[in-house]
Amino acid sequence: MDASDYVIGMLAEQRLRAARCEAARRALIRQHRRARPGLRARLGAALIALGERLVAGAARGPACAISRASHG
C-alpha cells in the first residue's frame, strides 16, 4: 500500500464520519421539530376567526342602530 493510498483512505474515513454525524444531527433536529399545520389548516383557522369576528360585530352593531332609530 502506497502512502498516498493510506492518506486518501484516511481522508475518506474522516469525510464519511463527518457525513454520518451531520446526518444524525439533522435527524435529531427533524425528530424534535414541532409539526406545523399546513397552509389549508392555517387558512381555515384564519377564515373561522374572521367569521367569528364578523358575527360578533354584526350582533352588536345593528341592534344599537335600530334602538337609536326607534327612539329618535
- The residue among 65 and 27 whose pLDDT is bigger is 27
DSSP states along 7-30: HHHHHHHHHHHHHHHHHHHHHHHH
Ordered by start, the domain boundaries in the chain are 1-33, 37-72
Digit-coded pLDDT (tens) for 21-40: 999 999 999 888 877 789 99
Residue with cell 406545523: 36
pLDDT, position 22: 97
Structure pTM?
0.45
- The residue among 1 and 38 whose pLDDT is bigger is 38
